[in-house]
Amino acid sequence: MKIITKTMTIIAILILTLGFSISFLIAEENNPEGGNDMDAEIIRVYAENMPASRFIGKKYLDEDRVEGTFAQQWGEWHQHGWFDEITKQTDLNLEEWFVEAEASIGLMRWKGEEPFEYWIGMFMPAGTAVPEGMNYIDFPVLKLGIGWVQGVAPNIYFMNGPVYERLEAEGFQPVADDSGTWWSIERYTCPRFTTPDENGNVILDHVYVLQFHVRCQSCYMIIDEPDKFGSESDGTASQDYCLYCYQNGSFVTERTFEEAVEANIPWWRAEGDEDDDAARERIKRIFPTLKRWKSD
């Protein structure tokens, strides 16, 4: 996965922004730090894991905009009840599957010179049937970086850049997927987006992907199912560690860095390293980048 430069970050953010008007985009290009003077503020940033999912919805391109926006398409979704059509495709309790699963989603795709894509739809459990007339994109377990933006429309929509920078400042680095594609998400969640406070403010989630293949930050194992995450002392799922390394808020086995390296050699050999020395060398290169071992 690649980390883009500051210049490319600004370009990506401009393209991924919902873009209610061409004039706004031009203004932002002339003022890359724009958005900070708007009546909207970032009130929370955090990371969370989303289970393997199937995004179901409809794709729109720049030529589908009406007066510079996709507002008309959002109106069609609500008018025709298309979100309900998606949720009818499963009997699962969506909130138990993923706490934010019932949110309406604006999913944005950007890759180099390829056309910008704006999708409207929902994230559903992997393998969910797709209603006629819709399409889908399958995603592995994702680690997401989220920024809650509080304010009024349309100001809250133009905070992609500040959220990206705030995530970076908090130690969360958005990334492209293995093909170099960037994904950005607008998450419209009830009740924080649908119920204004006494000042008329709502909260919109601006979301970036931090990891496309969530790996345990102790042993580097890919965590591809919700039940493979470890647990915190309060019983909630760990955001960083697998169940083999971390349970009830503590590491299952207390080891030094060197002990962890030696203990993991058999597993890495099973993944293809030809001998112990090759496995040891690769582990010693990767483990220092993981959360548990960074300070060792």
Residues 162-193: b if buried by 16+ CB within 10 A, e if exposed: bbbbbbbeeebebbbbeeeebbbbbbbbeebb
Angle at CA 256, nearest 5°, toward 251 and 262? 100
Max avg pLDDT among 92-96, 132-136, 153-157: 132-136
Residue type, 84: D
Q: What is the pLDDT of residues 249-263, one digit of tens each?
A: 999 999 999 999 999
The mean per-residue pLDDT over the stretch 66-89 comes to 96
Q: What is the pLDDT of residues 126-139, one digit of tens each?
A: 999 999 999 999 99
Domain spans in the chain, listed from the N-terminal domain onward: 6-211, 226-289
DSSP 69: B
CATH 3.20.80.10 corresponds to the domain 6-211: yes
Question: pLDDT-based confidence at 8, cuts 50/70/90?
Answer: very low
The burial of 5, by beta-carbon neighbours within 10 Å (0-12 exposed, 13-18 middle, 19 or more buried), is given as exposed
Q: What percent of the chain has pLDDT over 90?
A: 62
16 has a pLDDT exceeding 80: no
Region of residue 280 (left: phi > 0; alpha: psi -120 to 50; beta: else): alpha
Mean predicted lDDT score pLDDT of the chain: 85
Question: pLDDT-based confidence at 267, cuts 50/70/90?
Answer: confident
Torsion of CA 240, 243, 248, 253, to 10 degrees: -100
Q: Which two tokens stand for residue 122?
A: 């929902």
Task: For the chain, give the number of residues.
Answer: 296
Q: What's the half-sphere exposure (Cβ side, CA atoms, 13 Å) at 147?
A: 29
C-alpha to C-alpha distance for 138 and 133, rounded to whole angstroms: 17
C-alpha to C-alpha distance for 213 and 14, rounded to whole angstroms: 26
3-class SS of residue 80: helix
269 versus 143: the higher-pLDDT residue is: 143
